[in-house]
Amino acid sequence: MRYYADTDPALSTMEIEHRDTVRKLAGECVVVMENNGVLPLKSKGNIALYGNGARHTIKGGTGSGDVNSRTVVSIEEGFEAAGFTVTSKGWLGRYDDSLKNHQEKYLERIKKKSEELGMPEGMVMFADPIGIPPIPPITEHDVVESNTDTAVYVLSRDSGEGGDRFFTQKDYLLSDDEIKDIRKIASSYENAIVLLNVGGIIDVSTISAIEGIGAIVNVSQLGNMGGHVVADVITGKSDPSGRLTDTWAMRYEDYPCWSGFSHNNGDTDDEFYREGIYVGYRYFDTFKIEPKYPFGYGLGYTKFDWDFKSASLDGSRYTATVGVTNVGEYDGKDVVQLYVSAPYGNIDKPYQELRAYAKTPLIKAGESADVTLTFDMKDCASYDTGSACMILEKGDYLVRIGSDSRSTFVASVISLSEDVIVSRHKNLFKADVEFEELINPLLARDEEDITEAEKLTLDPKSIETVTFDYVTERHLLEDRRSGEHLTFDDVLAGKATVEELTAQLTVEEMAKLAVGAYESDALMQSNVIGSASLLVPGAAAETTDKLYDSRKIPLMILADGPAGLRLQPHFKADAQGNRIMGGEVFGMAFNPFPEDLPEDHVDYYQYCTAIPIATALAQSWNNDLIELCGKIVGEEMKKYFVHLWLAPGMNIHRNPLCGRNFEYYSEDPLISGNCAAADTIGVQSWGGQGTTIKHFACNNQEDNRMYSNSHVSEKTLRELYLKGFEIAVKKSQPYSIMTSYNLLNGTHTANNFDLIQSMARDEWGFEGVVMTDWYTSQEADFMGPPSDKYPCSSSPLCIRAGNDLQMPGCEKNVTDIIDAVNDGSLPLADLQFCICNALKITARCFA
């Protein structure tokens, strides 16, 4: 067997270049939340480091979102490399002891639980994360021994798939130990700095209320170069120009869905999206709830003045130019944000919505740069469920420009004299249970001074109404080349079409192609779910090679993300290429290599770059930066023979406690869609490597994730939870979409024809392949007990819906598909349709 991994363990040129690139750009992902002037640090010397993230900095979350990089640079290592002397080694050593004891007890618990439940240890860890060990107190002796006036406390939080976070201490809330230690540094050091090494929102109000804290910085989780990036930012070598892509509340109870979210109300079977479209700033700004830090907020190290220069309408496209001048003492970048307040009419609307944004280039102190913001007024339309139309209601649209959602001025007023139907649809997502949604209580806007605003008029005739056609039945393919034996080689050579090849396949052959390589030796022998590829060890799965001999259809390799490739960093094979099972996966050696290795065995290496987590990338507000990170991943995919990256994740941050928020970008669909599109463009620039945007749709909780039913209105789906996917598809055409585990209004997303066919393909024009999340269509004990209320999804209904690949699949999936076609309950045309989609993407990967 041929492997694409390295046989030389030394750092490769590509690895060095990628690490250097991440270090150079990741400072833009850092958000300065508070700063009394202590940052950037003016001089180097002694520094006291405390907190659970100082020496054990978290590069990214757990589960399939993990990346097995060669090394992870801690914040301690970053400061030392920058020339500081860390003088709190005694405290750090005591924390090491606490952590080691905690880890030993944790692994014992996992092993015991694994045996009791008959689940792989990796899956047990998904649902039972390690948590935080007891935090040692910072003593007066530690302060004296540190011999410095500057202390940095690094507060870390970890989370991952399979379980949501909790509104408890050591998670959303700080522990008593952490609060005492932060108070200690605030009272003992002249310069007290708190760094948040977190993947999601925590209770910052408690920290900022402590007198003596000089700065709070959200450094997020920046990948394997995080320690160097943080040191660069703290010393001013790198500009922390990040801005928040979520609203950070004063209290968790200020979020509109706090009480009913996931396990908070004890019911994880049914999730009612009662807040409707009022998520994040849409809620806080509309209902006038004061946040701790608003959406779009961030300080940086310098100050900017803005000059609104011009605005215009070209048809329905609005363009504004803003001059930005750096009036501070440091070089830096700024983010100009544009929101639109639509007129209140017959359709419910929030106070304002983000419609455009622009990141400036690096502006030197005293210099200026112009930025352009543009959007289409058609994107301001609201969905009217009664008429099933996207409608621009008549009235004045206020274009607001500002530095965050709470700091804006009205730059333009766009007047529309009559209602305009932008697009005609059909309602696709009927409620299975009726429930009341939150609506805007305001009947009119507050009076504002708009005398200085640019006045523009939108001509209703400039907008042409789009009416969608929907597929209801698919066409049967007939074998018109029956005298020939077509193969995939003929497709690649242009001698046959995918449709002609598919028409020759039997039902049995197609059923095998519709599921993954579930009989893989790697899957059978591995104790880690999501590590099931023989050709690329550590990859999540591969498609079947059952038709390679007869039809030359190759297998595709699928690897997890979204903060880089998750592959096995080190594996072994004998001289003939037979893999020797064992090694590290998910950062832990579940299956040690055997002691009696063949003398001529070969060591292979697949070290990948851990880029910043999705939330951190989004905080850059820089699509070019995200595209560059996508190119890093795409190049590593090319090198290690990975075809589909199971990323980016782009579900909306509905609630801060979702366990996978770190894998997702924002509470806002425009940010989410643009980020996913940029990531995809970067990856797919290599050709033959593609992304898989996920999880489609409403995967906003992890508890009971396979059997949770998300109840969401049509309007809310279209305007919020599906909008980001729409943007990503239209801007970048990702190779794949992954459906989610959950049900949506009573139907599993994997079985939802209207979601996959009517929405993604008919309305958005998606051209790629759709796959399930892992084990969606089978009851797998290691994925947790089946629900008493809802069943798992159906294999034949996946095919009917256009869910082309069922991953990783099982024999029952195959036989269920065959039986359904044979008994007439599943049209053969539907199976042919799915196989065509899969083969078209395979052709793109091997062209």
Token pair 């803003």: residue: 322
Q: Does residue 678 come out as left (phi exceeding 0), alpha (psi in the -120 to 50 range) or beta?
A: alpha
The closest alpha carbon to 220, from 503, 86, 26, 358, belongs to 26
What does DSSP say about strands 335-341 and 353-359: parallel, antiparallel, or unpaired?
A: antiparallel
Token pair 């649209």: residue: 397
Contacts of 20 (CB under 8 A, 6+ apart): none
The closest alpha carbon to 227, from 55, 406, 394, belongs to 55
Instruction: Name the DSSP class of 469.
Output: -
Contacts of 89 (CB under 8 A, 6+ apart): none
- Give me the pLDDT at residue 582, please: 83
- Residue 821 φ then ψ, to 5°: -65, -45
Work out the number of other CB atoms within 10 angstroms of the CB of residue 472. Answer: 8
C-beta separation of 776 from 739 below 8 A: yes
Structure tokens at 118: 């008959």
What does DSSP say about strands 150-156 and 191-197: parallel, antiparallel, or unpaired?
A: parallel
C-beta separation of 176 from 170 below 8 A: no
Rounded-to-integer distance, Cα 237 and Cα 604, Å: 37
Amino acid at 744: L
Rounded to two decimals, the pTM is 0.97
- Give me the pLDDT at residue 324, please: 98
Spans in the chain with pLDDT lower than 70: 122, 127, 443-444, 520-530, 585-590, 781-784
C-beta separation of 251 from 292 below 8 A: no
Structure tokens at 751: 């079985």
The pLDDT tens digits for 381-414 are 999 999 999 999 999 999 999 999 999 999 999 9
- Give me the pLDDT at residue 589, please: 57
Structure tokens at 373: 């913001």
DSSP characters over 568-628:
-SEEEE-TTS-EE--EEETTEEEEPPPSS--TT-EEEE-----PPPHHHHHHTT-HHHHHH
| Beta-carbon-side half-sphere exposure of residue 706 (alpha carbons within 13 Å) | 23
Amino acid at 566: R
C-beta separation of 123 from 529 below 8 A: yes
C-beta separation of 284 from 250 below 8 A: no
Work out the number of other CB atoms within 10 angstroms of the CB of residue 371. Answer: 18
Question: Could you give the angle at the alpha carbon of 684 between the alpha carbons of 679 and 690, nearest 5°?
Answer: 90
Question: Could you give the angle at the alpha carbon of 37 between the alpha carbons of 34 and 39, nearest 5°?
Answer: 80
C-beta separation of 720 from 277 below 8 A: yes
Burial of 480 by CB count in 10 Å (0-12 exposed, 13-18 middle, 19+ buried)? exposed
Residue 644 belongs to what H/E stretch?
strand 644-646
Amino acid at 351: Y
Rounded-to-integer distance, Cα 572 and Cα 593, Å: 8
- Give me the pLDDT at residue 585, please: 64
- Give me the pLDDT at residue 68, please: 85
Work out the number of other CB atoms within 10 angstroms of the CB of residue 484. Answer: 13
Work out the number of other CB atoms within 10 angstroms of the CB of residue 42. Answer: 10
Work out the number of other CB atoms within 10 angstroms of the CB of residue 70. Answer: 18
Structure tokens at 541: 């799965």
Q: Does residue 663 come out as left (phi exceeding 0), alpha (psi in the -120 to 50 range) or beta?
A: alpha
Instruction: Give, rounded to a whole angstrom, the gap between the first and last alpha carbons of the chain.
Output: 22
Burial of 74 by CB count in 10 Å (0-12 exposed, 13-18 middle, 19+ buried)? buried
Structure tokens at 377: 């007024």
Rounded-to-integer distance, Cα 755 and Cα 470, Å: 12
C-beta separation of 733 from 293 below 8 A: no
